[in-house]
Amino acid sequence: MRIAICVKEVPDPTAVKRIDDGSHRLVRSGENTLNPYDRHAIEAAVQLKEGPAPDTEITIVTMAPESAGRSVDRALAQGGDRSIHIADEAAAGSDLLGTARVLAAALKRESFDLILLGQQAADSECYVMAGLVAELLEVPCITQAASIALADGSVTVKRQVETGYDTVKAQLPCVVSVSDAINDPRYPPLPAIMGAKRKPHEVVTLAELGIDASTVGAAGAATSVGGLSKPAGRGDTIVLEDDGTAAEQLLAFLVEKKVVA
């Protein structure tokens, strides 16, 4: 069994976010970390390797600047066996489709049975990357997986939906995005963290993947941000100081606005 996990480096949740005034893109030169949703995908792969598929090889795949090697190491420490890191300045500014093209090109070089992603990226809050990658690879796609089972060349997924769960079965190879409710990702011990740097780490360029740089990056993006502005205010804000009469003040305000009679 060969499992690939597409991961992303995102700004640290505790860091102050900044938007570049010229490009209207998120500034990523500050503190960054491994996308927390991707950690659930890694944990799901590790659990499959520890259970029904002990001969599994787990490959971490990412498109990011070379400086993202630290986040790749974190993914390897959590359970990845090797990594493929697409690092090319021409890929900067890629939109969703451009990113999917790069990831799919890297995945096509090898034969993976299962391709896992987190349900979304913590910076863009986008849920569609799994579907885009699956479309380009021409393989089935299942999203919001709450559990994953493998048997007889197929994957069976218990999928979260608004009304409960659906059970979906698909033939391998298949792309699956996992819900953040699927597991509690483990924190790697110190030996695993230290050993991550010694695992195979392949860095490739767009040219090595056979990708025309004009089709990805900012130059090939089919979407762009025309401008940014703060949302309009909602009017005056009333702050209630609780001096023992806050409940009465709130009730009087609601009565005045005719919310309650």
pLDDT value at 64 more than 90: yes
Question: What residue segments make up the domains of the chain, in order of their start?
Answer: 2-220
The pTM (predicted TM-score) of the whole model is: 0.85
Q: Determine the pLDDT at residue 258.
A: 87
pLDDT in tens, 82-101: 999 999 999 998 999 999 99
Beta bridge partners of 4: 59, 115
pLDDT higher at 243 or 138: 138
219 — pLDDT class (breaks 50, 70, 90): confident
The three-point CA angle 196-198-208 to 5° equals 95
DSSP, residue by residue, 11-49: E-TTSPP-B-TTT--B--SS-EEE-HHHHHHHHHHHHHH
Q: Determine the pLDDT at residue 39.
A: 97
Q: Can you name the CATH fold of 2-220?
A: Rossmann fold (3.40.50)
pLDDT in tens, 166-180: 999 999 999 999 999
Of 15-24, 124-133, 148-157, 167-176, give the lowest mean pLDDT range.
15-24
pLDDT higher at 29 or 222: 222
